[in-house]
Amino acid sequence: MTRSSGLGLGIAMIWFSALVLIPLMAVVVTAIDGGWDVFWSTVTNGQTAAAIKLTVFTALGVTVVNVFMGTLIAWVLVRDRFWGKSVLEVMIDIPFALPTIVAGLVLLSLYGNDSPVGIDIANQRPAVFLAFLFVTLPFVVRMVQPVLEELDRDVEEAAASLGASRFTTFRRIVLPSLAPAITAGAALSFARGVSEYGSLVLLSGNLPFKTEVTSVRILSSIENDNVPAAAAVATVLLVISLAVIVLLNVIQRRVAARG
């Protein structure tokens, strides 16, 4: 390692530690500062456990939907030509640019009590799922799209000329190349879902044991001056997110290996 590369690595690690590692360690230390008994009683509290369960399973469901629909949308944008394609390209990025509280207001206007489309899911669990879907839509699309654009079409054509079906060509040639991008998009989608607040706070109603998610639960703990409880819930989400990321990496490696 040269002196310049060592200096660059040192600066990168200091920056990463200051922004990520040290704050995460501080959260974990705060969570266990009162002892494991206090930590366990906090995260197994009925209302907190219900919020964690709703958040995690909804985020997982949304991630699965995004893996399939995001890949499909990316495929359509890259492989098909149609009128309005440029408009669709811009609209996909709207969840990135729109403030989440504004997104919540938009969703409430469309799917609330006075819904112009006749769909009222306000203060119901589908509202949480819909809000998660809205804010996580672009992740898989934008991760998969550039990889698809760089794929060599000649390899697919060669496989087709040898008698491979479209499904076999996709499974054995295209999918292994897309697996890392899909995995990265899925990880981002899940992480955004478990941390979401603004887009669902208006539509879901934040009802305990029904539509209350962990971000709302954490905020309530902080407002009640119970920082250790908020840190405990955040630590649980951190562990779950790390486990999901590891699982996605394992799946990605196996898909790539089978290809």
67, 145, 189, 259 from 63: Cα distances, Å: 6, 17, 6, 23
The predicted model gives 138-152 an average pLDDT of: 87
For the chain, give the percent of residues with pLDDT over 90: 18
What is the C-alpha to C-alpha distance for residues 139 and 59, in angstroms, rounded to an integer? 13
What is the chain's mean pLDDT, rounded?
84
- pLDDT confidence of residue 15: 81
State pLDDT tens for residues 75-111.
888 888 888 888 888 888 888 888 888 888 888 888 8
Say if residue 62's pLDDT is above 90. yes
- pLDDT confidence of residue 73: 92
Tokens linked to 102: 């504004």
pTM: 0.85
Are 245 and 187 in contact by the 8 Å Cβ rule? The answer is: yes
- Closest C-alpha to 256, from 155, 188, 166, 180: 180
Rg (CA), the chain: 22
Say if residue 58's pLDDT is above 90. yes
Are 157 and 173 in contact by the 8 Å Cβ rule? The answer is: no
Say if residue 13's pLDDT is above 60. yes
For the chain, give the percent of residues with pLDDT over 70: 90
46-79 and 227-258 helices, crossing angle to 10°: 40
Q: How many CB atoms lie within 10 A of CB 225?
A: 8
- pLDDT confidence of residue 95: 85
The predicted model gives 3-9 an average pLDDT of: 71
* Sequence ranges of the domains in the chain: 1-31, 35-257
State pLDDT tens for residues 149-179.
887 776 666 766 666 667 777 777 777 788 8
DSSP state for residue 174 in the 8-state scheme: I
Instruction: For the chain, give the number of residues.
Output: 259
What is the C-alpha to C-alpha distance for residues 130 and 138, in angstroms, rounded to an integer? 14
Fold observed for domain 35-257: MetI-like fold (1.10.3720)
pLDDT tier at 258, thresholds 50, 70, 90:
low
Residue corresponding to tokens 């995690």: 56
What is the C-alpha to C-alpha distance for residues 191 and 199, in angstroms, rounded to an integer? 15
Of residues 5 and 205, which shows the higher confidence score? 205
- pLDDT confidence of residue 140: 92
DSSP string, 52-63: HHHHHHHHHHHH
Question: What is the CB-side half-sphere exposure of residue 205 using CA atoms within 13 A?
Answer: 16
90, 140, 253 from 86: Cα distances, Å: 6, 18, 34
Are 31 and 235 in contact by the 8 Å Cβ rule? The answer is: yes
